[in-house]
Structure formats: C-alpha cells, structure tokens
Structure 1
Amino acid sequence: MATTSNQAPQPGRKRPRRQRSTAATVAVTIGKVVGTLLLIGIITAVILICFAARYIQTVIIPQAHIEANFVMDQTSIIYYEDPNTGEYVEHLSLHGDENRILVDYEDIPEDMIKATVAIEDRTFWEHHGVNWRRTLYGVILMFTGQDIQGGSTITQQLIKNFTGYDDVTVKRKIQEIFTALDFEKNYSKEQILEWYLNYIYLGDTCSGVATAAEHYFGKDLSELSLAECASIISITNNPTIYGPNSNVRMTNEDGEVTTGRERNKQRQELVLWTMWDQGIITEEEYQAAVAEELVFVSDVDEEEPATIYSWYDEQVITDVMNDLMEQYGYSELVASDMVYSGGLRIYACVDQNVQSIVESVYSDRSNLELTSNSGQEIQSAIVIVDPEGNIVGLAGALGDKTTNRGWNYASRSRRQPGSSIKPLSVYAPALEAGLITPASVFDDYPVQVLGGSAWPLNNPQTYRGLVTVADALRVSSNPAAVRVLQMLGFENSFNFMQDNFHIDLEEGLEVNGEIKNDLGSSQLALGGLTNGVRVIDMAAAYSVFPRDGLYIESRTYTQVTRIAEDGTEEVILDNTNREPEAVLSSETTYYINDMLKDVVTGGNGATGTAAQISGMTVAGKTGSTNSNTDRWFVGYTPYYTAAVWVGYDTPERIYASGNPAVTMWEKVMSQVHEGLENKDFTQPDGLVTVQICRDSGLRASEACLNDPRGSRVQSMTLFADDVPAETCAMHVSVEVCTDSPVLDSSGTAIEGLYHLAGEFCPREADESLGITEGTVQTIGILDYTRELVGGVSSPDGNYFKSFLDAQGTCDVHTTAPEPVEPAGYDPNSFDITDPSTWPPVNDPRYENFDPENPATWPTPEPEETPGTETPGTGETTTPDTTPAPSPTPAETPGSEPFIPASQ
C-alpha cells in the first residue's frame, strides 16, 4: 500500500519536472505567433499612418484650398492697346451664351432648399463638409473591391462643380474630403447652397434652378410650387434620364417603355416622399404635391446669340478660361461664368488693324474657292505673331462667323504639317549640333525600298541627285531631310522639337492594337505626326527664327484684373512676366533665315515664290502631306510671323494650282505690311563668302567649273569656322572628244556629254593631217558611286565617271589620220611683209622657215631668159652672165633695216 510523504525534498535531489501538455504547447506557440503578427501589424499600421499623415500634410492639404469669393453679376470687359496713344481702350463687353440665370440665396424658394437637402444631403446643416458615416461606407466598398461611391455631401458636389474633378480614385476622394472641410471653414451653409443651386446642371443646356424654372415651367423661380421644385431637383440625379424633355426611351421592371417625363414624375415622387419621411413636409402637403399635375412648357428653339464674337475675341475668352482652370482649379463652368459675368478686365494683345485685315480676307470665301470630291468647302486658319510673342491677328475658319464657341481650326485642330516641319525637326537641330552647314551635300535620291516602292517620294515625284542643304530646303527634298535626320538621330530631333520649339509630340499611343509614336523618319522628316500640330503652335515655333533664336510663349492677353472691395485693381492672371528662352544660336538662326528667304525668292524649284511681298523681306516654308490633304505655309518677315493651314474638315485630297496656303498668306500679309519700311533679318559678325562646289560642299576646283552641265561653283556665305578647308575631289578632270557625243536610250545626245578621248582624237590643229582644230576637251566629271534603289534614276547619274567609263572611248577617231599632200607653193609670191604669202607649215621644203632669219626665206625661182639664136646654126646661146638680184628692202640705200614681225 502506497503512502504519501509530506516531507520536503532532501537537499541535493532534483524535483521532478511537470510535463506540459501538447495542447498547452500549441496554444503557447500560437499565442507567440499571433502576438508577433499583431505587433508587426501595429508597427506597420503606425508606419503607414505616419506616411499617410506626411502625405496628407505635404500633398493633400496644400491643394485643399479653393478660392471662391467671386461675383457672377458684373459685366466683364476686353480692352486693347491703342497703337497711337499706347493707352488701353474698351473694346468689348462680354455676355455669356450659357443658359443661366443667377439668383441670391434669399430669392430661392424654401421648398427648393428643403427638397435639395432632403434628397441630396439630409445632414447638410449639421456636418462640417463631410458625412463621415457615408464616407466610411464608401471606403468599405472600396476595400471589398466594389466601386467607390457614396459619401458626397452638397459641399463636396459643389467642389466637383467648381473644379470639374470627378474621377473616382482614392487620392481624389481624400482630396475632396479635406477640400470640403476647408471650404466650410471659409464659407457659410447659405453661400454653399446658393452656389450649388446656381451651378447644378439640369438638362437642355440649363444651369441653375432659376434657369430651369423658366425653361421647363415658364415661371420665375419664386413662383414654383412644391411639386415643381421637387421635379426640378429630381433632374440632378441624371439629367439624361430624368430630364422632362429627355428623348431616351427606357424599359422598366414591368417591361414598359418610359419617357423622360414619366421618369421625372417617378423621381419627383421619391423626393416628395423623402421630404415627408424626414418630417420636412406634412402628409397633406405630400399628397397634394404628388397629385398636382406638372405642366411643362413647349420646347423653345435656341435663338442665335445677340453678339457674335470675332475669332480673336473668342480665343481670348478661351485662353482666360483655360488659365483660370489651370491656376485656380476651377471647372470650365465656373471659369466661363467668371469670364462672362465676373466683372473681369481683360487686356488683349490684338492689333486691331491686323485683325481687321484678317477678318476681311477670311470672311470672304471668294478668296479661296475649292470644293472636295464629296462636296466639302475648303477650310483655312491663320495665326499672326509679333516679335514680342503677342498674337496680333487670328482666324479660326473661312467664311462668315455665325456662332460663338464654334470649331476653331487655328487653336483646336491638329493637322499633319508635312514639309513645314523640316526647319524645326531636321535642319535647325542639325545646324545647332554642328552636324551640317548650308553647304553640306546630301543625296536627293531614294533612301530605301518600302512596300515595293522607292521611298521617300518627292513632290513632284522626281529626284535631283546631290544637293546642298540650302538647295534641299529650297526645293523641299524629302530624301535629303531623311538623311539629315538619320545623322541627327530620332531622339535628338524629338527632344529638340519638344524642348526648344514646344511642339507636343507623341511618345506612345495605342491605335487598334498598334503602338504609334513620333520617333521616325515619316513623322519627323516628312511631317506625318501621329496627332498633328496646331496652327497656333507652328506660328509660335517659327517666330523663333526672326527673333534671333528666342522662344516666347505666344499670348492673346497680358493681364486679367478685377476691382476689389477697396476699389483697387486686383490682378487675377498675369502674362507680363515671360522670360524669353534662348533655344537657337545666332549662327543657326542666320542660316535658317537665309535659306528660308531662298524658298520664297530663289526660283528654280523654290516652293514658296507666291508668298513674295513687293519691297519686303520674306522667308518661310511650305508644307504638304503625301496624300495632299493638308497644305501649309509658315512665313515671316522682320515684323510678323504667320502660319496658315488649308484643308477640309474631313480630310480629302486638295486639288489646286499651287499651294492655296501660300495664296491665303500673301493675301493677308501683303496688306498687313503696307507702308512698312523694308529691313532684313539680323546678320551676325564673322561671315565670309566662299566659292563651294554644289556637288561636294567643298571648296570649288577648276574641274567644278568645267562640269558638262555648266559650272557647279556657287558663292555661299558662311561663318568662318564653317568654311570647308578641303578642295573638291569629287570632280575629276577627263578628256573627251567633242566629235563623239554620248547618246541616251532614245538616240538623243546627252547634253554636254561626250565619249572619252582616244589616242587618235586630235588634240590640236594639224594641217599636214588635214585637221583644222582639235576636238579633245577637258571636262570635270563626278567620281561618285551611288547604290541604286528601286530602279530609280537621277539626272546627275549620267555625269558620274562610272557612267562615262562604261560608254567607252571615241567612236569617230579610231585610226591614225593619213598625211595630206601639201598644196603647191610659188616662192616667187613670197613677201616678208605679208604673212599670207609665207610658206605653209606642212611644206617640207620650208620646214626651217624663220621670218627673222632671211637665210630661211624662200628663194624665188629664176625666170627663164630668152636665148640668142646663132645665125645659120639654129642654136640658142644663153648669156654667160646672170643679172644681179634686186636688192632686199634692207639693202635699199637710204632706208632703215626691216625687222620682221613675230608670227
């Protein structure tokens, strides 16, 4: 039998360790894991909270404030500067086209306010801008993968109307919350409701409840009944669905098709029920309002606006609105109201004389009468910029302007610029990088075969062969532009266009599953940009050239102000502090100006000769697309830069003689420059004139002068550092025989080209051989090898040494000529004073003849002396003595010795 000992353990003996159960061990382990995870979660949460707090403090809160202390019941005025006095004078009072009647809070019916609060934000009078319960619900939806929705108070909805920001993202919701909290600190509930009810959109172009009252019920806002108030506020949920005049047909749960008015009535009853449910109205009021018939007035046709703004005035309005939205975060709706009725003073840059000329030309369609194959009338736009970057004249379309805020081709359309892009994307950046000079030579010949055809094409579809950069620009060579671009590099060109000329280009755009961008030859060298370019941007970019390399952002206004409460003029927008940006060197701008002048005055293939203005320096560049759907001319003088686009609204091929954009440019700019003194562009120091070879770009040699096409030597003015040090080695001298012309495939002699001289071709006259003159001539021929592309020939190919070598030598003088017997010579005719009587050079008897040596002169044959017949013998006796010869002139007594003339 076991016994239990109560004695304490003996010293030196270990107490038995109690074994922990498996469950306890697992529980402890789980506890440790959970505790660790909890600790990690807490630490992570703290870190995230710190990051969130920092983000809110540095990013959200600085953007949370909205300045909304503006008025909407004062006329805004546009002013322009009088060029004679320098003073600003009133030009135009603005009246908005928006269908809006503004009302004060006191003039809004109580039923409208109650209906709004009941259906839109029942806790409006209690919260401080945010309904936290509804906001939390929206966050839960977000974390459960559903759409972020709900939580928007009237204050938050007003902020959306003010800013136009309605994208549903976490950042936007956070921004909206803090903006609403800040907003309610600065503005009263009544002011918020007043703005909200004046700005909500209620369908049929109606903005604000007062406008909707007039439009739908033909009543003043104060005359609306409870039922009518509920009907109008019902539209806010979705004007397309609940607008009384909505033509959208929808099928309800019962399969019935409902109209807009039926859906408006259903929504109105929900608003009324909500008001009754919240105790805002009694049941009797609810029943009476539901039973009341809603009588909508007939639709009213929109009337034409009383004032049609000019293209320029409309651009000013657009620019001010855009700047208000960008600088203050206002929505388009708010910015529009500020411009039209916010009491603004807008100081425009328009030159009234220039604008009146623009309008007179562009309002008259007879100045450009073209119709497409589908019947479209031609369109055009022009923008004129002065040296200070002011847009002084503008037209957004052709023909009479009959509407406001219509489509403006000058500032809204993006069209393909064609070759007008070349000075911006190819030649200016290549000059700036030191890769080329105007004397550099490139081959106007296809670069590659693309789609089975030689590419790129020229317009017209011919090639010229080797050309200088100056000539390539003058005739708008596409292959030369591509070759320069390849030397420059696509990215360098792309970045230069964006950074220096501020032309927006496309880095990557998916179109039908294909990524398109502007990093390519077709885009940058030929002007086939993915999104095109605006007329207003082309004018600003080209104005860099006459401005000696300075880019200034173009503007239509200098300042926008308003009269503050203390009577002072407060600046709202300021365009006066624009720092010019140096984007080109004086060397580059000189070269571009000089070459683009040649586009207008150069002739011989120059593309812009129709832009000449009598007595005025003009430079510019034409542009057209391969399909000829867009035509451009961007030209400038020392006074103004103007860009002109011509095309159809829906792109179609333009069939016209010449470039119609040049025609419109000249019609406007010739009048703009009347009475202005001619002057040239800036000419820097350090220029020298040098004779260069047009085929090599190097210093001209004698062989360049002797090119069979005519002299290839050209005078060119370059900066000293750009003058070529080497002499042309491309032209080599060869001997040809002019008796043996080279024939083309049709048997016609190729101008100036002959077979190489052979050994028997006479190099000089030789009477002994019957040769009166030599037929061997020295010419300069091109020692240049071109790789043929697409079977295309070029006119200079016939003047390559390889071509001439292939023709062989002279086919006329193939054997040595036979000597010709000299004609008889009578020495008795010799008279030293008459060279015509001297012996012929091919008479071997007198091969040593020397006019200065009498010993070599011909000796006259003795005359036959009659003999004396001896009588009876029949013999004749010759005298023994010979008569002395007549003395020579030198021996004549009393005369000076004769010195014969040299031959």
Structure 2
Amino acid sequence: MFSLKNFIKLALFGFIAGVIALLVIYISMRDELPSVESLEEVKWQTPMQIFTADGKLISQFGEKKRIPLSLDDMPQHLIDAILATEDERFYYHFGIDPIGLSRAIFGQIIGQNKGGGSTITMQVARNFFLTREQTYTRKIREIFISLHIETILTKDEILALYMNKIPLGHRSFGFGAAAQVYYGKEVHELTLAQAAVLAGLPKAPSTLNPIRSPERAKARRSIVLDRMLTTGKITRAQYNEANNAPITGKRHGAEIEVNAPYVAEMAHQEMLTRFGREEAYTGGYKVFLTVPSKLQLAAQNAVVKNLFSYDKRHGYRGPLQELRPIPDSLEVGQSLEVSPDTPLTEEEISETLASVKGFQSLIPAIVTQVSEQSATIIFKDLSQGEIPWEGMHWAREFISDYKQGPPPETTDDILKVGDMIFVRALFENQFELSQLPQVSSALVALNPDNGAILATVGGFSFKQSEFNRVTQAKRQVGSNIKPFIYSAALEKGMTLASLVNDAPINKWDRNSGVAWRPKNSPATYNGPIRIRRALAESKNVIAVRLLREVGLTNIIDHLSLFGFAPDELPRNESLALGSASLTPMEVATGFATFANGGFLVQPYLIDRIEDAFGNVLFNANPSMACDPCLVESKKTDNELLETEGEGASTSDNVKLPVPAVTSLPATRNNNADVTYLPQAERVISPQNAYLITEALNSAIWGADWSIKPGWQGTGFRGRTLKRRDIAGKTGTTNEAKDAWFSGFSRRMVATSWIGFDDPSRNLGQTISNRNLGKKQITGKEFGAKSAQPAWITFMENALEDLPVEPFEQPIDVVTVRIDKATGKLTNKTDKTTIFEYFKLGTEPTEFVSQDNSSEIFEDSTADDIF
C-alpha cells in the first residue's frame, strides 16, 4: 500500500528532478537566450511626425502607430483595468505567477481553458524577444527571460514596457496609440468604459476591437469591468454606468492639423535621405519645419483660388458623367427593371457618387432637378443642396484655350438632370458649380535672410498629382530673368538713368547665321528710355541690347552667382528674354539675393529634429545674409534667434518670418557676449542689389502719365496691397505657355507660377462674360493676369503681420535730381524731373542740354532707326 512517506519521497524526488531538468534546459538554452539588458534602453518603433514651425501636425509616416508614454502619463483607471484583466497579482510575483500557471497547467490536463497563465512580465518577454508560436520550448524560454527581466527592471518599468509595446489592432501598438486610433483621444481623456474596451484588447485585438465587432468588444468590456468590480477598483455604480455606455469606437487617423502634403513629402524625402527608410519610419522622429501654418494655409488658398479663377473664365467643360434619369421619389423595396431609361435607385446614386474622388473643396453630386435659374443636387449621403444662378452663371462653354461660348442665360444652357458634377460650398445648403482645373500652378515663399522655406505649394491637389512643381518642374522663366540681366548691366557700369534705345532690332546675327528680330510685348516702342523704366515696363529689346553690351559669357557668369547652373542656361541671346528653364524654388532663391542686399542663401525646410522623447538631435544652422554676422546674447521678446546649442535656430519663431539677425553696428558694448553666425556668400554688392530692387519697386509703383503715351509698371496690380515696401517682376514666355510673378518685401520673397503640365498647351485668352461684372480678367493670359493674382492673395495674408520696412539704402548710394528724358542732371523741379539713385561715382556730372543723342546706348554695331 502506497504510504504517505513514499508519496513525500516521490514528490521530493520529482521536485529535485524537475529542478535539475530545468537547470539542464537552462544551461542548454543559455547561449540562445536574448540579452534583456536592451530593455533598459528600449528604442520604440515609433512613426515619424512632421510639424509646422508652430507645432501643428502636418503628416505622419510609418507602418506602426505608437505614442510612447511613461506610466505617470497613463490614467489610473486604465492601469487598474489592465491589471485586473491581465495580471492581478503583478506586483506580488517574481515574473511567474505560480497560482495562475498551475491553474493553466491543470486546465490543460483536464481539457478545460483555465486561462493562459502568462503574467505581464511574460508577455513583455514574448513581445520583445519571442514569437507567438504555441510550443513548450517557447514557453520555457519565456519563463527564463521573464525571471531575468524581473532582476534588472522594476515592476513599474515592466508595466510601462507592456503598455507601450502590446499590439492592440489596426496597426496600433501601446495604449497611447490605441486611444488615438479607436477614440481620437489622449489616454488621459478616456472614460472608464473606453479604458475597459482597450484593456480587453490584448486577448485578441483583431477580433475584439470596437471597429470590427462592437458586439464582441462590448462583451469583452463587461468581463473587464467585472474583474475591476471584483478586485475593488470600481464601485457598483461605476460598473453600471460604464457597462451601459454605448460602444463608440471608430477609426481615427493621426490628428492632422494642417493638411499640407507637398510640404510633408519634401520633409519625408529629406528624412529618408538622412536616416534611411527603416530608421526614419520607426525612430519616432519629430520633424519641425520652417513653415508657419498661417503662411502655408495662405499659400494653398492663394494657389487654389487663382486656379479656380483661371479655370472659370475659360469656360465649363461639361459634366463628369451623364447618368440615367433620377427618380422623383422611391418606394422602399421597389423593384425596377434596369434599362437606359430606368431611374437610378437611391443605393445606385450613393454608390456611384462614393466611387468618385473629391479634390480639395470639390464635392461630387448629381443634378436631380433643373429650374430656370437654379438646380437641385444630391450627394452620396442622399442629402440635397441647391445651386443658385450666382453659383453657375460663369459656366459658358469651353471651346478651346482661346475661345469660349456665349454667356448662359438659363440653367438649361449649363446643366441637365442626371449630370454628375463637382460643386463647392458657398454657404449653408448653397453650392457653386465647379470643375477640376486642368491648368497647374505652384507657389513658394522664402525668408531672404536665411533661406528658410515659409510656404510651398506644388500644385492644385497632391491627391490629383504628387508631382511637386516647386522643386521638380523646370519651366521657361520669361521676363523673370530680366532683373538678373539688368544686374549684370549695372556691374558693367550702367546706371538706372542710362538711356537705352527701345526700338525694334533688325540685325544679322553672325553666330546663328539668321536675322533674329525680338519684339516687345505688346509691340510698342518708345525710343530712348531709362533703364529703370525699361525694367519696370519689361522691354524685351532692351534686355537683348543689354545682353549684347555685357556679353553672353559675362551674362551667364553673372547669372550663376544667383545659384543658376551655368550649363543649364542657353548660350544664345534668347537668354535675355527668359528661354532658360528653372524651377520656382530656383527663381525665388535668385530674387532673395535682391531682397537681402546681395547674399546667396540656401533654401532649407527642416528647422530641427527631435527623438521620441523630445531630445533635440538636429538644429538647422543656416548661413545668414548679414555682414558681419553677429548677435548679442541679450534677448528681447521680439528677438527670434537662439545662440545656444549647435547653432542659430528660428524654431521658436512661430508667428512671423522676420529677420533672425541683422548686421549690428560697429559701435556696441564691448563687454557684450557676442556670437558669430555662419555668413552666406555675398554674390553682388549691396549697391547693385538696392538699385535693382528700386527698379523692381517701379515695376509695381512706377508710372508717369505726364508724358504721352503714359506708362506704368507691368506689376501695377500689386498696388492693391497698399505697401510701398514691395518690389516684383512679371514673366511670360512665348505663346504664354508659362506665366510668373516673383516679388518680395525686405523679409519675404515669393514666386508664383502657372501653366499646363502639357507643354503643348498655352494659357490662351478670354473674352468678357457679361454675367460676371467689371472686375473679371479678360484678354491674353500673361504674368500679371495669370500668376500675379496668386502672389497678391498670398502676400495680403503674409504681410499683414510684417511692419512696413523700406529697403535700406546702402552706403555709397547717392540721390540726385535728373531729367527724365536724358538722365542728366537738372536744376528744374517740375514734372520733367525725378530723383534717382546712383552708386557713388556713377552719378551724372553733366547737366541736361538740347542734344543728348550721343548718350543713348543702342548697340555698338546696330544700324537701327535710333
């Protein structure tokens, strides 16, 4: 008979044998077990986030959604729910719960599920180091690793690892990400009912989540709440309230605050270059850009508004589709025989509209009813709206880029029942007929003091086209090249008062072997005029004469100073008229040199990079447009530059792109703490930059109606900004395939471009639409009509927080009164005279006389009329 003594011996033998067996297994596995010391410095696989300069989220990149949090960041009711459900004795065991493990083993023996027996520590071991395969070997490894984890980490550290690592469905890892994905909340904002839902997910996140199965999520929540009640973590009243709460979970993306996909993609590509794909997507980097949200949104609005304006004046291209008739009403369960004449059912309407992509503010809809001057439309959710006459009277027929049909008189001239169209919201339940623009556009703004990108828009819609026209589209620049040609002429010794012959060029070109006859646009000629006026009026023949005087090689050398690649510039006289192809970013960078007094700055987008815990890994240290580049350490509320760390950073400047630093006077407190900053390369003199800026100011503000015919600058529409401290230049290529406007204030430069991606299409022209009133744009499209409106709209917003700041007159620039007709000195003070700026030593020394023909620059070999 089996005695108690024998049983004790057998049990003791079994225990010793078990210990020996475990020891043997441990020794055999020891070399294969992973090192858990890495848990002390765990690196979370956290997505990359892109932020504006003022900290608003633009985009997020990465497969896994994770928001690492400390245990102190977790609400207590979430911690209680997790412990009550997953491991109620967590703080009392040594990594393995003998009670839970014994219960699980006993359940396996008798064929009943008594729970898995895994502790939170064991789940950490599995999630960090093991797979989820169901084998005894893996379980033993899990136990060994868990015991080791408990020797190097505290309980709170283990729990924090678990709460940040555990997969919780829909690519969310950790409870911080799950709170965002399922509820769009921070974890501390979760209600008890919501926390209980999340605490129930570790068991089976793919099937118990509230998105896939609200019923199963609710049942699992009840189990969690019951465990919390049993362990005394909540009261009966709390249990009842939470258990009766509805399941509200639905999928939430990252909380995008500023939708700027072109900017986000530029930063994304730079991060991939810096860190590589895997590291960039999992390193948890927070990327703060130089772009303030206000300016970016203003730029996007300006581009979209201008594209819609261009598209509307060129006419309506018709509906997206013409569908079967729309029923007046539908009966529930009505069965219809499908034929071309059979009305669409509500389900078909909804499905058809849901299949059409919307872009920007464009919403797909179907016309259900047409009256004389209004139309009723239906949306995919079967709600209805109205298009009043004011929302469609623009829609005359588009015939070609150069021709439009007659203005419509009734709705029937525009829409038919069954038309699928795009609309844009006007106000409550009122919509405007619209369409997806076929023309493209781009706008970029820079801080001329350091090259910081302040706004960039690469097209109408990133969803429509990911091609970023700011950085990727090299287009002919037209007259936007002329300020750089004129800058070279000033270096050659000319002045703003030099006379150049504005007359047709009829000259055999020995180099090309043909007679080239460049013309002004419009083809009007004024004879001898001053260089300032010639640039303001954008005279083509004068640009060619200046190029010939300076020399093509010298011109190309000079243009290369502004960052334009010499090997990409055409080596012929068409260069003077803008045959070079440049990107809007390159053009804006060139114009920044005039705005900042002669320095070539390098555009940059990323201001700083932080890791997942807020440690700064990178601070931009841009070269500054200043001489000398130094700043005193004493700071004021308005000072934007920090001198600590790796270098100067304007990351705290979230309001305005005002200068981070300027040249300080030579006399200052010698005891002041001074930091020298990287200096941008000076490529032209401050005098040259100032004189060209003055001429470009005349392109907007210059005019003279005291002579016949009178004149005004090509950018005169910029006067609507009511700012005298701005300058700019229009640009239009042959046949108006590209239109530009580049302009700047002292603290901001912006370039606007518009054209078709299809290079065979021209911007065309329009005639007046009598339905649209007096302020419409008509005639041939060119820089001032097609591109400048976007620049004006952007600058209206961008300049409102920037004080008026005249361009600073450098030393060695003097002002003298000259005669308008000759550019010579005069003693008169009437309308025939003006004050003009000159670099010291180049001002005229002779007074006006009757005959000045010998002073007029034409062309050293020309045989023109003048």
TM range (shorter): 0.3 to 0.5
Taking structure 1 as the reference length, what is the TM-score of the superposition?
Answer: 0.44
